[in-house]
Structure 1
Amino acid sequence: MNRARRLARLLRILSAVIAEPGLNPLELAERAGVSERTLRRDLVQLRGLGYEIAYTGGYEVQEKLNLEGRTGHRSLGGVYEQHLELLRKQLPQGLAARVTEEVDSLAPAALASLFATAIERYARAAR
């Protein structure tokens, strides 16, 4: 498997763990489209890259993302920088630059969508 596809899979696993804490190994492996054995190897690699993923009745990121602050390892900016560093380490320079450029162009819309979804969810719950 090429490095770009593996990195994309690692980030999908990370995204699933953040979005749905508590997934068991089978559920997480199914979301990633891999065997449980491959999932375990991928989780070892993510941990080696600095992501604090633990299993306590389900997978979760030990340190919650702090989206309020503007600095720090787990702030929104810190997470962005961590992903950029991961791209630079794992992908050829040209590919990393193209991926970064695309993410930069799509990020504002993605964040707006995330905020809209959260607002709608909490507005429904408040009724």
Structure 2
Amino acid sequence: MLRILAAVIAEPGLNPLELAERAGVSERTLRRDLIQLRELGYEVSYTGGYEVQEKLNLEGRSAPRSLGRVYEQQLDLLRKQLPKRLAAQVTEEVDSLAPAALASLFATAIERHAKGGA
């Protein structure tokens, strides 16, 4: 399920076959897991391709998805899908790896923008 969510966020607009392939699941598993993601509060919709819908604030603009909120949603999903012990082990590993991964993302973005890229 996390691979599906990651693929939808990373590549919005994928059709069902493409999304299933990116996530490494069958289309049947994809449909089942998308239902579960929606039940968990992820607003995954399909309009010419799958995407996660942003919630609108009072001014009618999309509310930014904060990193902390996304992290908490991922942890919640993890805890609901995995046995307690495994969820704790995965959480501990992610907590230890996240700072370096985030630093790498920042470095990549800085390099891209410094070169005049998008």
Common fold by TM > 0.5: yes
Alpha-carbon distance in structure 2 between the residues aligned to 1:92 and 1:28: 26
> 3-state SS of the aligned residue for 2:41?
coil
C-alpha deviation, 1:123, in angstroms:
2.9
Q: Does 1:125 align with 2:109?
A: no
TM, length-normalised to structure 2:
0.81
Partner residue, 2:46: 55
Contact map agreement 1:47 1:53 (CA 8 A) in 2: yes
Partner residue, 2:65: 74
Q: Does 1:16 align with 2:7?
A: yes
Alpha-carbon distance in structure 2 between the residues aligned to 1:17 and 1:43: 10
TM, length-normalised to structure 1:
0.76
Matches within 5 A, 1:21-100: 21-63=12-54, 74-100=65-91
Partner residue, 1:105: 96
C-alpha deviation, 1:62, in angstroms:
0.4
C-alpha deviation, 1:43, in angstroms:
0.9
Percent identity reads 84
Instruction: Give the unaligned 5+ runs of structure 2.
Output: 56-62
- Count of aligned positions: 110
C-alpha deviation, 1:75, in angstroms:
1.5
Instruction: Give the unaligned 5+ runs of structure 1.
Output: 1-9, 65-71
Counterpart code for 2:100: A
> 3-state SS of the aligned residue for 2:115?
helix
